[in-house]
Amino acid sequence: MTTTRPSVTDKRRRFHDLHEHGCFVIPNPWDLGSARMLQSLGFQALASTSSGFAWSQARPDNHVSRDMALAHLRELVAATDLPVNADFESGFGEQPGDVRDSVRMAVRTGVAGLSIEDATGDAAQPLFSLDEACERLRAARRAIDEEGGDTLLVGRAEGLWVCNAELQDVITRLKAYAQAGADCLYAPGLRQGEHIAAVVEAVAPKPVNLLIGGATGMTVAQAAALGVRRISVGGALARASWGGFLRAARELATSGAFDALTDAASGKELDAFFKADLAQRRA
């Protein structure tokens, strides 16, 4: 029996609906296999990870070209029936016009959402000024609207990560990004419950994405109780995979032992899953 796959419009509508109420986890695959596996586990949406993808290409984070990122997004969108949110870094351009062009290209890959950061990549001046950051977000908003307007725009304030910004400065930026056209707000580095709640209250009714990239002790239920609408893990799943690989490879290289392979996934289980998955896609 042939299964009708959801259209890009269907995925985008579903993605917007997910942001209306409740709290959902949006994990971050870095390749087609991890995307298919995450879909099979019942998640409702996925997000790309710039770091996870970069490492898979033997590059550090933020050193993937725009063309590489766009090709990766097209592959992820085609590989899954779930909405995909693009980790689109800083929009692959410094000037608003460059961001606008990049975002239009990203929208055409079929992503259901995309994020634009306010980090410059320059240690001497790690953030765009607030005016510059807002103009860049407005450019992204215009590009989305020109392409139909149904792609969700996420405004990211990177200050907690790149320059130890004060919480109030981050909140000021997030509120400004909401005014500039962001549909969802995101400040990587939020960890304390009172800080998370303060951000949620400040930008309400816009939804907030919370990054949980490690064993912080916070559960989905606790984040939801704070008002968080969605939870992403960034490159954490890719790092977990690399962690297992490095432990086993280093043990083999240094001691000649194979004990670290004990917890490896079963090849039979993986083959069985991907065989059934491939048959389903071809049906």
Residue written as tokens 């929208």?
107
Q: Residue 182: what pLDDT?
A: 98
The CATH number of residue 138's host domain is 3.20.20.60
116: β partners: 155
Are 108 and 147 in contact by the 8 Å Cβ rule? The answer is: yes
47: β partners: 85
Give the span between the Cα atoms of 82 and 35, in whole angstroms: 9
Q: Residue 142: what pLDDT?
A: 98
Q: Residue 215: what pLDDT?
A: 86
Does residue 242 share a domain with residue 190?
no
Give tens-digit pLDDT for 103-153.
999 999 999 999 999 999 999 999 999 999 999 999 999 999 999 999 999
Give the span between the Cα atoms of 151 and 111, in whole angstroms: 7
The verdict on pTM exceeding 0.85 is yes
In a domain, 1, yes or no: no
- The CA distances from residue 122 to 117, 125, 241, in Å, are 13, 5, 29
- Which H or E element spans position 24? strand 24-26
User: Which residues form the domain of 110?
Assistant: 8-234
Does residue 120 share a domain with residue 229?
yes
Q: pLDDT band at residue 3, thresholds of 50, 70 and 90?
A: low
